[in-house]
């Protein structure tokens, strides 16, 4: 007897083939995707964020995609609230919810809830951001020894976060308890795609080249014409910021305080320079590979995720759905 509604989770590093899995399942099952991708929330950025193609969205509705302008921020708390609402709505309509995306922080917030953290001031954020990994470790040992010893030295993001919360609040980060997790409320069937590194890196390099061929620079220029700049959250993501960083390296007149119109002029001027093009391409690929490596570390350290390859995942998803338990 089924006690809990079931939910599918498909995650994995960028360019591992999550969209291809959904395409193979489309038309066979009444699926709806709850996107757990921190970049695909933005409008006007389809190429650079590898947003799902229109043809797939027509077959499998997607939630939490293209909901924010590039100058708007989006918190994990907002994601969690919208995702829970979407899941309940999908189940109510007798469809199958699939949480799909590579932002594992989002998925974990659903499973385990989120911390009621103190407000972080901008000066404190800037202060901690400027610290080296060694300095973060030293200060975290004083502020929160438990987190300093528990968190991996390579997980600099979480170590900075632990230090920020410890300094901003009245207690160490390790004393905060998450609330509002839904892991126990549903039967999660969860996998992550583990692609051999050489294949994954090849996919990433190919994807970067394809994005350029598909008009990534035109998409960026369109964003600039709308008044968005590298200081806005959307354009700080991989695939866009590298245009500005590369330009700042090669063009003396480039300035981070430049207006969108000035950036537009400089990028148009420099794009005919093959050395600039190659630097942009290489930097996007390298940063994406580094990000994918960090993603794999997160997934491999999460026991609730089953490691699987692309072809096996399609089979296991089909089997799981056919066994039932996906409706209230």
CATH number of the domain within which 83 lies = 3.40.50.300
Give kind and range of the element (H or E) at residue 156. Answer: helix 156-168
Say what the pLDDT of residue 158 is.
Answer: 83
Select from 227, 260, 232 the least CA-distant residue to 73.
232
Same domain, yes or no: 225 and 159:
no
Distance CA(61)–CA(28), nearest Å, equals 14
Rounded to 5°, angle at Cα 88 from 87 and 91: 85
Cα 121 to Cα 51: distance, rounded to the nearest angstrom: 33
- The verdict on residue 234 lying in a domain is yes
Question: Does 315 share its domain with 252?
Answer: no
Residues of the chain with pLDDT under 70: 1-2, 324-328
Q: 158 and 72, same structural domain?
A: no
34 touches 83 (CB < 8 A): yes
The pLDDT tens digits of the residues spanning 158-216 come to 899 899 999 998 899 999 877 789 999 999 999 999 999 999 999 999 999 999 999 99
In-domain check, residue 296 = no
Q: Hey, which residues does 9 pair with through a beta bridge? A: 99, 190
Q: Phi and psi for 323 in degrees, rounded to 5?
A: -75, -15
Within this chain, do residues 20 and 91 fall inside the same structural domain, yes or no? yes
Report pLDDT for 325: 56
* Residues 184 and 224 grouped into a single domain: no
- What number of residues does the chain have? 328
Tally of domains in the chain:
3
Residue 299 forms part of a structural domain: no
* Residue 120: per-residue pLDDT: 85
The whole-angstrom separation of Cα 281 and Cα 289 is 12
The model's pTM: 0.84
pLDDT in tens, 30-40: 999 999 999 99
The answer to whether residue 280 is domain-embedded is yes
Whether residue 59 is found in the same domain as residue 185: yes
1 domain residue, yes or no: no
Based on the fold, state whether residues 171 and 82 are members of the same structural domain: no
Residues 151 and 81 in one domain: no
Strand boundaries in 66-111, DSSP class E: 96-100
The answer to the question of residue 328 being in a domain is: no
Does some domain include residue 300? Answer: no
Burial of residue 272 (CB within 10 Å: 0-12, 13-18, 19+) is: exposed
DSSP letter at 2 equals -
DSSP output for 306-323: EEE-HHHHHHHHHHHHHT
- Which range of residues forms the domain containing residue 278? 200-290
Q: Assess if residue 254 is contained within a domain.
A: yes
> How does DSSP classify residue 173?
G
Same domain, 213 and 131: no
* Amino acid 2: pLDDT: 55
Same domain for 229 and 135, yes or no, is no
> Are both 182 and 98 inside the same structural domain?
yes
Tokens linked to 219:
């998409």
Q: Which of 106, 141, 175 is the last residue of a domain?
A: 175
Query: Both 156 and 187 in a single domain?
Result: no
């Amino acid at each position: 007897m089924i006690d809990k509604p079931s939910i599918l989770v498909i995650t994995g590093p960028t360019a591992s083939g999550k969209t291809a899995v959904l395409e193979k399942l489309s038309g066979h099952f009444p699926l709806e995707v709850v996107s757990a991708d921190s970049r695909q929330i933005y409008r006007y950025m389809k190429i650079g964020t590898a947003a799902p193609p229109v043809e797939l969205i027509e077959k499998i509705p997607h939630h939490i995609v293209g909901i924010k302008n590039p100058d708007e921020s989006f918190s994990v708390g907002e994601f969690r609230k919208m995702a829970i609402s979407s899941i309940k709505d999908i189940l109510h309509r007798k469809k199958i919810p699939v949480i799909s995306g590579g932002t594992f922080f989002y998925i974990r917030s659903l499973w385990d809830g989120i911390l009621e953290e103190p407000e972080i001031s901008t000066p404190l954020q800037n202060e901690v951001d400027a610290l080296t990994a060694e300095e973060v470790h030293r200060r975290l040992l004083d502020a929160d020894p438990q987190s300093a010893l528990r968190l991996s030295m390579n997980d600099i993001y979480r170590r900075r976060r632990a230090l920020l919360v410890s300094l901003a609040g009245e207690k160490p980060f390790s004393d905060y308890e998450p609330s509002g997790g839904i892991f126990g409320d549903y039967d999660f069937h969860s996998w992550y795609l583990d692609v051999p590194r050489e294949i994954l890196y090849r996919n990433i390099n190919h994807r970067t080249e394809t994005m350029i061929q598909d008009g990534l620079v035109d998409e960026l220029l369109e964003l600039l014409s709308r008044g968005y700049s590298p200081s806005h959250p959307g354009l700080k993501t991989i695939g866009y910021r590298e245009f500005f960083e590369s330009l700042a390296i090669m063009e003396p007149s480039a300035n981070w305080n430049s207006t969108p119109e000035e950036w537009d002029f400089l990028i148009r001027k420099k794009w005919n320079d093959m050395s600039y093009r190659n630097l942009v391409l290489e930097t996007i690929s390298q940063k994406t590979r580094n990000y994918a490596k960090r993603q794999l570390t997160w997934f491999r350290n999460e026991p609730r995720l089953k490691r699987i390859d692309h072809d096996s995942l399609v089979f296991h998803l089909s089997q799981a759905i056919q066994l039932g338990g996906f409706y209230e």
